[in-house]
Amino acid sequence: MQIDVLTLFPEACEPFFSTSILGRAQAAGLVTIRCCNIRDFAKDPHRKVDDRPFGGGPGMVMMCQPIFDAVEAIGGEANNQALLLLTPQGERLTQGMVAEFAARDRLLLIAGHYEGFDERIRLGLSPREVSVGDFVLSGGEAAAMVIVDAVVRLIPGVLGDADSTIEESFTMMDRAEKAVESSDTPTALLEYPQFTRPREFKGMEVPPVLVSGDHEKIKRWRAEQALQRTRTRRPDLLAGGMSEDYDEARRK
């Protein structure tokens, strides 16, 4: 897989992409992550990439030309690729979307800055607009790092253990062991509680079932805990919406 991030600040992203799981994935040849400086495509002698908005208003707006030229220069010929525009106006990122992106051969992410994008970038390039949450960042670099991290860890071979992503939050745990014998119909779930050594710490003990050695009981306990935690903290996930796109993307 190849991922390109178009940004005004590649120096903010590159250290993150070369660290930990992302760095190891690149070293293993499972993914290539490149940062492209949008200023390299500016035609102004001062490498200007923004200007005041027509009609007045605060801030500066990202100009069309440098972004169009950058996308054209690095776009490539891959058929199975996606162009993402990172903006708080976009679709809120879900694990289902992440799984869909991980199935692509190529991702191009446009990380903006300043007050926003010239609308013709949306109209002319037709990117998929993605938001990492209902808040505003100073720039799209942090959002790009979130998406790249979430996507790369789903690429086969990156985490080594094929089952390691199945029981995480927003996944299914085999539909929480059939919703603990049909007591509910889950969609996406939060992860069950996890414990490690020591067995007792400051009066807090590990639940006995986890040290019982009974794997069936442990499996059921985890499913029950995942459902309970999701109902308490994120009941909206049980109302529907997240599981179908996630399941479909993982089957591809």
In a domain, 133, yes or no: yes
In a domain, 187, yes or no: yes
Nearest to 187 by CA among 84, 109, 252, 96: 96
The tens digit of pLDDT for each residue in 18-45 reads: 999 999 999 999 999 999 999 999 998 9
What pLDDT shows up at residue 212? 97
Tell me: do 139 and 198 sit in the same domain: no
Q: What is the CATH number of the domain that holds 55?
A: 3.40.1280.10
Query: Which residues lie closer than 8 Å to 125 by C-beta, 6 or more apart?
Result: 67, 68, 71, 83, 85
Tell me: do 177 and 214 sit in the same domain: yes
The CA distance from 20 to 177, in Å, is 32
In a domain, 159, yes or no: no
- Mean pLDDT, the chain, rounded, equals 88
Tell me: do 146 and 182 sit in the same domain: no
The tens digit of pLDDT for each residue in 126-177 reads: 999 999 999 999 999 999 999 999 999 999 999 986 555 556 666 555 555 5
Tell me: do 19 and 116 sit in the same domain: yes
**Which domain range does residue 183 map to?**
173-251
The CA distance from 80 to 107, in Å, is 9
SS3 of 59, please?
coil
The tens digit of pLDDT for each residue in 184-202 reads: 455 678 999 999 999 999 9
Q: How many domains does the chain have?
A: 2
In a domain, 49, yes or no: yes
Q: What is the CATH number of the domain that holds 195?
A: 1.10.1270.20
The CA distance from 56 to 54, in Å, is 5
What pLDDT shows up at residue 246? 40
In a domain, 34, yes or no: yes
Q: What is the pTM of this model?
A: 0.82
In a domain, 160, yes or no: no
Cα 154 to chain centroid distance, Å, stands at: 10
